[in-house]
Structure 1
Amino acid sequence: MSTITAVPLRPVKRGYLIWLWLGLALALVSAFALARQGDDLMSRNARARGVTTTQSGLQYQVLQQGQANSPKPTDSDVALVNYEGKFLDGKTFDKSQQPTPMPVAGVVPGFSEGLKLMTKGSKYRFWLPSSLAYGEKGAGSGAIPPNAALTFDVEMLDFIPETVLRQMQQTGPGGAPGAQPMPGGTGPPMPGVAPER
Structure 2
Amino acid sequence: MKHLFKRFSLFRVAALLLVLAVPALSGCEDDTDDGTQTAAALLEESKAEDDALIQGYLTRRGITEGTGVNKYRRLSGETNNGIYIVDLADGPSTGANIVKGNSVDVRYVGRYVGGSNIGGVASTNKEDDIFDNSTENGIPCGCINVLRVGAGVIPGWSEGLLFMKKGDRKLLLIPSYLAYGSGIGSNGTRIFAPYEPLVFEMTILDVK
Counterparts of residues 13-52 of structure 1 (less than 5 Å)? 40-45=52-57, 48-49=63-64, 50-52=71-73
Aligned partner of 2:196 in structure 1 is 148
CA distance in 2, matches of 1:123, 1:114: 12
- Runs of 5+ unmatched residues, structure 2: 1-50, 65-70, 114-126, 136-141
- How far does the alpha carbon of each residue in 1:109-145 deviate from its partner, in whole angstroms, 9 at most, with x for none? 1111211111111100011000111111356x65631
**% identical aligned pairs:** 27
- 1:100 corresponds, among 119, 130, 144, to 144
Does 2:132 match 1:111? no
In the alignment, which of 160, 166, 180 is matched to residue 134 of structure 1?
A: 180
Aligned length: 122
- Structure 2 letter corresponding to 1:150: L
The verdict on how the C-alpha distance between 1:121 and 1:138 changes in structure 2, with shifts beyond 3 A counting, is: farther
Task: Find the aligned partners of 2:164 and 2:89 in 1 and give their Cα distance.
Answer: 10
1:77 aligned residue: 102
User: Quick one: which amino acid aligns to residue 195 of structure 2?
Assistant: N
Name the structure, 1 or 2, with higher relative contact order (CA <8 Å, separation 6+): 2
> 1:126 & 1:80 partners in 2: Cα distance?
16
Alpha-carbon offset, residue 71 of structure 1? 0.9
Distance in 2 between residues matched to 1:46 and 1:154, nearest whole Å: 16
Contact 2:165 2:207 in 1 (8 A): no
2:104 partner amino acid:
A
Consecutive aligned runs of 4 or more in structure 1 exceeding 4 Å deviation: none
1:159 aligns with 2:180: no
TM-score, length-scaled by structure 2: 0.53
**Residue identity opposite 2:53 in structure 1:** L
Q: Which has the larger radius of gyration?
A: 1
Counterpart of 1:93, as a letter, is: F
Q: Deviations over 1:23-65 (max 9, x none)?
A: xxxxxxxxxxxxxxxx932233566411111001101101023
